[in-house]
A and B are shown apart, each in its own frame.
Chain A
């Protein structure tokens, strides 16, 4: 490699970094603005020309948003339903995926088709019928309604099946000779082998469950039964254009996921990349 090439490489690197840094700023600015606006007075937030930093940091909007809009319930409902919508799909989907991938049983094709066919249906198609169903069951405006229909996941079943298909037969055959039943094979041998895939599914399910807006908006009404995202939508109706309070609410809603992301960032990023291989 000669001198002029390394020089041009250096130049290119500078350009690349400049582009990446500029984009990073665009990516982060909304978060910074959220935080800055939340500590302004309503006057400062709508001042012309724009006032970037407030005169004093005013945390009152956080108390206002928290107290006036049942945030403690939003946190619980969101965390609890996200937990349900992650743990159960993982168990049920991995079981089903294992059976579909490793056991030849009569009706396997049709069962699998039934499950993945719903992946083609856009979510809103389900909402009205599911709402009517909840209505019949007396579950409208309950925390249960938030997660009951999401205990299973066709997507996770499909994804995990791909991973189970890729495992070699030898381990399984040895276990069968040892007298293990299919469930034992699944639990003791197969599950540990697809651990990375399970982590990927956990992350995707959790992100999706945490952020979902439309279903909670439709099914629940009491402030105590709402999730963070639906609660934020209510906050907008309640506080109109009192931006510091709205931003305080938004910040409180995003911070748990962002903290989780920073703690487990490697897992998040690997998980997403991992699911891409077999998706």
Chain B
């Protein structure tokens, strides 16, 4: 087979994905940046170029800074707790214990549950007067509508849903660590914790790093659970509203597509920074064998 026909085959096989990506993903990404410089009227049928006006308005908007803070707060609370708990349970399950597969199935269950449905049941569990949570704890906290607690409740639901999946990823990483290393350590008389600290953790860094990055990117786009957990007239909304929620509200409820575009463009910027940091730190922190 000559190289020309081989190349033709390659283009043919790449074409659907490449064209699809260009049309449905690359072009919209650039168009979103363009939208940020426009001001639309009449449902977006009339547009004027306004330069950086939307960005100026955004940076002066207290609500935007609060939303940015909320998003970062969610990431800071959600990602480490998910990582720590997932690692904890992965280590527990990695020991040869009875019922391992049953636990895995149970822990994974929230992951196959539609976030919309999960959020709806958590609303009932969190209810102030007749919620199961207050009943069990003997408290009368309004978990979702007290600005002091709402963010933690949203994080709790997020962690609940995420543990199973991430635990499996980490478990896969754990099972990739050669058993011989532990055996050697046992001969040296290492205690359980030291084994974890000096063998498991370093060898797990590639998995943990990958998991952290994926979780951070996901957490920066939090929308579903806030949309369904925190109602439109909930007093706690300003203290949990994320950037994507604000994007949805501005673009599709307040009819200002351009302001909405500006908000997600900032999110894009944050994600690019995250990806940049990923490349930077990958070399420094991650121990590859």
Contacts and interface: CB of A to CB of B under 8 A. Distances in A.
Interface of A: 13, 16-17, 19-20, 23-24, 26-31, 33-34, 37, 45-50, 92-93, 95-96, 98-100, 103, 105-106, 108, 111, 114-115, 117-118, 120-130, 132-133, 148-149, 151-154, 157, 176, 179, 181-183, 186, 207, 210-211, 213-214, 217-218, 228-230, 232-233, 236, 243, 246-247, 249-251, 253-254, 257-258, 260-262, 265, 268-269, 272-274, 276-277, 279
Contact of B28 (A47, A125, A232): A125
B260 interface: yes
A114 B120 contact: no
A232 B224 CA distance: 12
Given A26-B160, A30-B125, A128-B260, A273 B169 contact: yes
Contact of A157 (B17, B31, B118, B265): B17
B105 interface: yes
Given A179-B1, A247-B124, 15 more contacts: A17-B99, A33-B121, A49-B135, A50-B131, A99-B9, A121-B25, A125-B32, A126-B25, A182-B13, A211-B115, A217-B248, A257-B112, A269-B104, A269-B168, A273-B168
B13 A183 contact: yes
Contact of A19 (B21, B92, B104, B109): B92
A257 B113 contact: yes
B231 to A, nearest CB: 8
Q: Which 3 A-B residue pairings sit nearest by Cβ, starting from the closest? A: A152-B20, A129-B28, A273-B172
B114 A122 contact: no
Nearest to A207: B112
A244 B204 CA distance: 45
Interface string B139-176: 00000000000000000000010011100110111011
Interface of B: 1, 5-7, 9-14, 16-18, 20-22, 24-29, 31-32, 35, 44, 89, 92-93, 95, 97-99, 103-118, 120-122, 124-125, 127, 129-132, 135, 160, 163-165, 168-169, 171-173, 175-176, 207, 210, 214, 217, 220-221, 223-224, 227-228, 244, 247-248, 251-252, 257, 260-261, 264-265, 267-268, 271-272, 275
B107 A98 contact: no
B220 A122 contact: yes
A96 B221 contact: no
B160 A27 contact: yes
16 contacts: A13-B97, A27-B109, A30-B125, A33-B125, A37-B124, A92-B17, A105-B7, A114-B26, A124-B267, A129-B35, A151-B16, A229-B116, A233-B228, A260-B112, A261-B109, A269-B108
Say whether chain B's binding surface is mostly helix, strand, loop, or mixed. Answer: helix
Contacts of A277: 172, 176
B80 to A, nearest CB: 18
Contacts of B214: 279
Contacts of A121: 25, 29, 268, 271
Contact of A50 (B9, B25, B132, B272): B132
Contacts of A153: 17
Contact of A236 (B104, B207, B228): B228
A276 B220 contact: no
Contact of A46 (B122, B130, B165, B221): B130
Given A24-B107, A128-B260, A98 B13 contact: yes
Contacts of B247: 124
B9 A183 contact: yes
Nearest to B268: A125
Given A118-B26, A181-B9, A258-B112, A128 B251 contact: yes
Contacts of A273: 168-169, 171-172, 175
A96 B129 contact: no
A88 to B, nearest CB: 8
Contact of A254 (B114, B172, B257): B114
